[in-house]
Structure 1
Amino acid sequence: MNVPYRVLSLLRDNGPLSRAQLADRLEVPRPRLLAELDRLVATGKVLDAGPAASRGGRRSTLVRLDPGLRFAAVDLGASSIDIEITNGGLDPVASYSETADIRSGPVGILGRVSELLHKLGAKGHYTRLDAIGIGLPGPVSFRDGVPVSPPIMVGWNRYPVRDTLAREHDCPVVVDNDVNVMALGERHSGVARSVEHLLFVKIGSGIGSGMQHHGRIYRGAEGCAGDIGHIQVETEGPVCTCGNTGCLEAYFGGASLARDATAAALTGRSPALAARLAERGALTAVDVAECATGGDTAAIGLIRTGGQRVGQVLATLVSFMNPSMIVIGGGLAGLGYLLLAEIRSVVYKRSLPLATGNLPIVMSELGPRAGVVGAALLASELAYGGE
């Protein structure tokens, strides 16, 4: 048993605990626990926090994480940078978000990330960082800390993301796919708390999934498990960013939805979308959602068709993985109940009753924070010595 990691993770997830409580939960000999606590105090990770409430007899001493511990959580999207600084218990200390184009390349994007982190430090939100966790919108070699042939990240292939940030900030860094990171965040602090077999689906600029088996992320042999956006749903179809045709992502996702909404506006099938296109010059998923809420039949049809295609792929995954919960997140989760209802309808219809009889399919509780929460959790696992 990795006792130091277990101690630190218990304090992270539960707050201050007494030495007696730690001994009870860890089920290790008290002399060993006390020796490990002394080592953690010496390394500056934990502090004594005064006497605990009496349980009869001599009162035990409370132990807490050092309040100066700091983690940086970075969630990079196709068009955004989200950063959160947290304490050792993953409570947010500071946050910042801005738009950014991931296609501008790793030097510019990571340079901006470092600039923002230094600014947050200069404002007093941290003295030093104990670890950084970062999620990227593409396939990642978790072992090497680099993206691998990411379809929407031009110029990022094999770029040393982990090593670049580690040198700049003099702390350990962990890099993972953004959907894996979101799945970790949702299970730790969102609607999927303690769910053992979770399928988290991100529908944003692209589509991907994070899979947890017995509470642990399943990354596959090379780290690209869950890349469902490039599952072919039609043998003949539009060309996808990956170079193949008929992928799920080519039919539904931020760019695909904007494309189809524009076509509906230009062909006269949607007066509401046509009016918005004339006014704004371009359409987004937000326009589709708002027009659908207003009763526009073409906008409603686009969402329903997209939900059906996503449901078609998820039904296959349910039969293969048998998850205990499916959580829908990402920017297009803002399409709301109409999208969720279509996904549920197809999954429940096409999957076996044994797999769906007790299968909730729900929206993310954390919403846009899922990524930074998961990145902070990954950073803490690295700093606390998790496996």
Structure 2
Amino acid sequence: MASDPEHEQALRGSGYRGGVVAEEQAQTLLQVLNLVRSGSAVTRPDLVRSSELGRAVITQRLEQLIELDLIVEGDVLAVPRGRSPRGLQFNKLRGFVLAADIGAQGMFVGLADLAGGILERVYLPNDISTGPEETLKTVIAEFDKILHNRQIFDVHLWGIGISIPGPVEFATGRAVSPPIMPGWNEFDIRGVMQDRYNVPVWIDNDVNVMALGELRAGAAVDHSDIVVVKISTGIGAGLVSNGVLHRGAQGSAGDIGHVKVSDDPTIQCRCGNTGCLEALASGWALARRGAELAARGESPFLAERAELRPLAAADVVAGAVSGDRASVVLMTESARLVGDTLARIVNFFNPSLILLGGRLMLAGDAYLATVRNIVYSRSLPLATRELVIAKVALGERAALHGATALALDEIFRPAYFAAWAGENRVPPVLPTEGREPRVTEG
């Protein structure tokens, strides 16, 4: 093959010299890898047919991926005629990623393989208002337990994905003025976790991560333009455009909870503004308004619960499910406001799918039906012609799948992949303020 002009040209243009991988080469390496990862190609002939790369380039890229232990050759496959090829498999156990979905009152922590399969999933109660040190201490303790139980050490751990319930500047992984996270503003989450595990860490807000989960393993698998809305303690939206999560310039895209929906100056939001959607329709708003109704004797159901402890959104949801009239009114008003806000997004963004998730969706189908009616009645006919509005398919599992996808998407991003693949090492940690990136031998 050395005299093959196609092979020689591929070698000259590959950028692969002594362990160095150029970004252009990383593109074709990932093209071959992703065909095998997705199951679109299971043999070398499949790769030639499924890609626009020449046979010699395919051969070279496969050799590199086999050397990286990302692809392994399996048994000889039986074919109707011709030489029987060996099967190709993505080595999903080449590395692992840790994931954490940190919520306002609890967290899911887990371990996944390189194919995104969740191998371990644990729920832990946690009050995020205790601050970042205590919360991350809980995350680290559970991560350590998972790694110890599975006997997976740093050499196998490739990255960590974390979601938090507040605005995140994606480039730095820091929360910025999060309304329900006292003490978290500008806290160096990434630095703490990278110092502990010496692998790269990515952080994003919970609804973006939920959108990634639904896109990779949920109801949005076959959609390219979607809006995922989380209606819980707060309200936010994850936007996916042409199959790619849209974060915006700083990472704050989709923060619909702070769209103004009322001119009443007395409706104070936790962000400091007035009239926000979150101040009227979110879980914390419903808890506040429910407490007011209970105090006035307008809801015996809520008044009875308020005698035991401060009311929460879950009490209003339970009241609506049980038929308590005041709770039903509160939930209906919330759904109308959310639907009206989503109608504006539909007219502007034209998604094919809207998915609703979060605690308020536990109230049953009435909430979803109200949102649908508002969106369909207040959006342009063309924008709603094929629009589907449904609940998230993965439920509370969505964010953990998404946190896993968050890490894997970045690890296998061409520019980042090029930075580590040629050295056959696990990815270097990301730079944080006052710290130098390090590399762990793999």
TM-score, length-scaled by structure 2: 0.83
Verify: 1:246 aligned to 2:275, yes or no. Answer: yes
Verify: 1:256 aligned to 2:285, yes or no. Answer: yes
Verify: 1:107 aligned to 2:133, yes or no. Answer: yes
Q: Which of 262, 267, 281 is the matching residue for 1:234?
A: 262
For the 8 Å contact 2:160–2:407, the answer to whether it is kept is yes
CA distance in 2, matches of 1:201, 1:159: 26
Q: Which of 355, 376, 392 is the matching residue for 1:327?
A: 355
Task: Report the equivalent of 1:91.
Answer: 117
Question: Which amino acid in structure 2 is aligned with residue 102 of structure 1?
Answer: I
**RMSD value over aligned CA atoms?**
1.9
Q: Which of 380, 391, 394 is the matching residue for 1:352?
A: 380
1:167 alignment partner, SS class: helix
Task: Report the equivalent of 1:26.
Answer: 51
For the 8 Å contact 1:188–1:194, the answer to whether it is kept is no
2:150 alignment partner, SS class: coil
Task: Report the equivalent of 2:429.
Answer: none
Q: Where in structure 2 are there 5+ consecutive unaligned residues?
A: 1-23, 416-442
Task: Report the equivalent of 2:87.
Answer: 62
- After TM superposition, the structure 1 = structure 2 runs for residues 161-200 of structure 1, keeping only pairs within 5 Å, are 161-200=189-228
CA distance in 2, matches of 1:161, 1:87: 23
Q: For the structure 1 residues 290 and 155, does the alpha-carbon distance in structure 2 shift closer, same or farther, using more than 3 Å as the test?
A: closer
- The one-character-per-residue Cα deviations of 1:168-214 (angstroms, maximum 9, x if unpaired) are 11212222121111111101111111211101111111000010110
- After TM superposition, the structure 1 = structure 2 runs for residues 303-314 of structure 1, keeping only pairs within 5 Å, are 303-314=331-342
1:14 alignment partner, SS class: coil
- After TM superposition, the structure 1 = structure 2 runs for residues 4-43 of structure 1, keeping only pairs within 5 Å, are 4-14=29-39, 17-43=42-68
Question: Which amino acid in structure 2 is aligned with residue 304 of structure 1?
Answer: T
CA distance in 2, matches of 1:321, 1:184: 18
For the 8 Å contact 1:45–1:69, the answer to whether it is kept is no
Q: Which of 205, 211, 220 is the matching residue for 2:248?
A: 220
1:130 alignment partner, SS class: strand
Task: Report the equivalent of 1:297.
Answer: 325
1:291 Cα deviation after fit: 2.3
Q: Which of 386, 394, 399 is the matching residue for 1:366?
A: 394
Task: Report the equivalent of 2:148.
Answer: 122
Q: For the structure 1 residues 167 and 6, does the alpha-carbon distance in structure 2 shift closer, same or farther, using more than 3 Å as the test?
A: farther
Q: For the structure 1 residues 56 and 311, does the alpha-carbon distance in structure 2 shift closer, same or farther, using more than 3 Å as the test?
A: same
Q: For the structure 1 residues 17 and 84, does the alpha-carbon distance in structure 2 shift closer, same or farther, using more than 3 Å as the test?
A: farther
- The one-character-per-residue Cα deviations of 1:327-352 (angstroms, maximum 9, x if unpaired) are 00122221221111111111111111
1:62 alignment partner, SS class: strand
Question: Which amino acid in structure 2 is aligned with residue 165 of structure 1?
Answer: M
Question: Which amino acid in structure 2 is aligned with residue 295 of structure 1?
Answer: G
- The one-character-per-residue Cα deviations of 1:223-246 (angstroms, maximum 9, x if unpaired) are 111100011111224211111111
1:35 Cα deviation after fit: 1.5
CA distance in 2, matches of 1:15, 1:159: 42
Q: Which of 69, 72, 85 is the matching residue for 1:44?
A: 69
CA distance in 1, matches of 2:398, 2:107: 13
Verify: 1:270 aligned to 2:299, yes or no. Answer: yes
CA distance in 2, matches of 1:40, 1:162: 29
1:4 Cα deviation after fit: 2.5
Task: Report the equivalent of 2:9.
Answer: none
1:68 Cα deviation after fit: 4.0
Question: Which amino acid in structure 2 is aligned with residue 17 of structure 1?
Answer: V
CA distance in 2, matches of 1:8, 1:171: 22
CA distance in 2, matches of 1:290, 1:203: 16
- The one-character-per-residue Cα deviations of 1:116-139 (angstroms, maximum 9, x if unpaired) are 111101101633311111112111
TM-score, length-scaled by structure 1: 0.94
1:22 Cα deviation after fit: 3.0
For the 8 Å contact 1:8–1:384, the answer to whether it is kept is no
Range moving further from structure 2, 250-259 or 286-295: 286-295
Q: For the structure 1 residues 10 and 154, does the alpha-carbon distance in structure 2 shift closer, same or farther, using more than 3 Å as the test?
A: farther
Q: For the structure 1 residues 165 and 308, does the alpha-carbon distance in structure 2 shift closer, same or farther, using more than 3 Å as the test?
A: same
Q: For the structure 1 residues 346 and 377, does the alpha-carbon distance in structure 2 shift closer, same or farther, using more than 3 Å as the test?
A: same
Paired residues, what number?
386
1:110 Cα deviation after fit: 1.8
1:277 Cα deviation after fit: 2.5
For the 8 Å contact 1:12–1:88, the answer to whether it is kept is no
CA distance in 2, matches of 1:53, 1:286: 57
Task: Report the equivalent of 2:187.
Answer: 159
1:15 Cα deviation after fit: 8.7
For the 8 Å contact 1:80–1:98, the answer to whether it is kept is yes
For the 8 Å contact 2:75–2:87, the answer to whether it is kept is yes
1:138 alignment partner, SS class: coil
1:53 Cα deviation after fit: 4.0
Task: Report the equivalent of 2:104.
Answer: 78
Range moving further from structure 2, 347-356 or 266-275: 266-275
- The one-character-per-residue Cα deviations of 1:149-183 (angstroms, maximum 9, x if unpaired) are 22222222222222321221121222212111111
1:287 Cα deviation after fit: 2.5
CA distance in 2, matches of 1:55, 1:141: 55
Q: For the structure 1 residues 325 and 222, does the alpha-carbon distance in structure 2 shift closer, same or farther, using more than 3 Å as the test?
A: same
1:310 alignment partner, SS class: helix
